[in-house]
Amino acid sequence: MTSLPKDTPRKLGLVIDLDTCVGCQACVIACKGWNTENYGAPLSDQDPYGADPSGTFLNRVHGYEITPDQGAAQLVHFPKSCLHCEDAPCVTVCPTGASYKRAEDGIVLVNETDCIGCGLCAWACPYGAREMDQTAGVMKKCTLCIDRIYNENLPEQDREPACVRTCPAGARHFGDLADPDSAVSQLVAERGGFDLMPEMGTKPVNKYLPPRPKDRLEETDILAPFLDPVADSPQGFLGWLDRALDRL
């Protein structure tokens, strides 16, 4: 059903730390691997080894540069997957009911056997979180690894999303953002977690933690300021020597 639930008791989602993400793309590959080998249509590639490769991904890592008025520019690695919005425009536009938001935990999913592949939900998502699989002709999106987080066949420590489990920098956190005492909610409160494109009114569940200000390399040698730099074009005896040596 494409009506949105009024409120969900749990809001499962991710908290992504832009300060610690190193841009290694491990989450991209873990996500592609898990979601190709498990639930739903595999994430296909077109012309993967040819001149114009492209493919379906549920999680992609962008890179942005912040140039302050003064000082050096800073690079930020920026992973982006579905934000499991509370007011998800992608769900309400769906004509078939294939897209839905789970009432119990807020996860936004696509029922692939109902999807006609009209693509309207991908148009409606402001974040580019949905991709139509070119081989299967159905809409793919992040499932929050629903087939891991509730999967009793997996060892306890693996019952979290593949991208979270694999991240070597610990930049991705999974949890319940409706519970103010959860580790993710605490992290958001502590670090000033924010929404992407808040003016869109989609109320994303996923939050982003801002990069911390970088340290500056200070002058370390207290005597350094007293040393004159070597003259670029030597004068006097040194100048004569320089020219003489040039002529040799």
Partner 1 sequence: MHPAPSVILFTTLSGLGFGLLIFLGLGFPPVTGWVAFVFFLIAYALSVGGLLASTFHLGHPERALKAFSQWRTSWLSREAWAAVAALVTMGLYALGAVFFGTHLVPLGWIGAALSLATIFTTSMIYTQLGSVPRWNQLLTPLHFLSAALAGGALLAGQLLVAAILLLVALMIQLGHWSVGDKRFAEAGHTIATATGLSGGQVRAFSPPHTGSNYLLREMVHVVGRKHARKLRILAALLGYGLPLVLVLVPGAGHLLGGLAILAHVVGMAASRWLFFAEAEHVVGLYYGKRG
Of the candidates 162, 163, 171, 169, the residue with the CA atom closest to the CA atom of residue 210: 171
- Under the binding rule (CB under 8 A), the answer on residue 128 touching partner 1 is yes
The encoded tokens of residue 61 equal 């890592």
Q: Choose, by CB under 6 A, the member of 20, 24, 29, 127 that binds ligand SF4.
A: 127
CB of 202 to partner 1, least distance (A): 8
Tokens encoding 48: 């993967």
Question: Binder to partner 1 among 37, 69, 215, 228 (CB under 8 A)?
Answer: 69
Instruction: Check binding of 199 to partner 1 (CB under 8 A).
Output: yes
Residues recorded for the chain:
248
- Rounded Cα distance, 1 and 172, in Å: 30
* Encoded tokens for 99: 């897209």
Site string for ligand SF4, 2-31 (x = CB under 6 A): ----------------------------xx
- The Cβ-side half-sphere exposure at 48, using a 13 Å CA radius, reads 6
Q: Backbone dihedral region of 137: left (phi > 0), alpha (psi from -120 to 50 degrees) or beta?
A: left
Please report, as a single letter, which amino acid is at residue 214.
K
Query: Which of ligand SF4, partner 1, none is residue 65 near (CB under 5 to 8 Å by kind)?
Result: partner 1
Residue with tokens 């402001």: 126
Residues in touch with ligand SF4 (CB under 6 A): 30-31, 34-35, 58-59, 81-85, 88-90, 93-96, 98-99, 108, 110, 115-121, 125, 127, 129-130, 139, 141-145, 161-163, 202
Residues in touch with partner 1 (CB under 8 A): 1-3, 18, 28, 52-57, 60-69, 73-76, 78, 80, 89, 91-98, 114-120, 122-128, 131-132, 134, 136-139, 194-201, 208, 210-211, 213
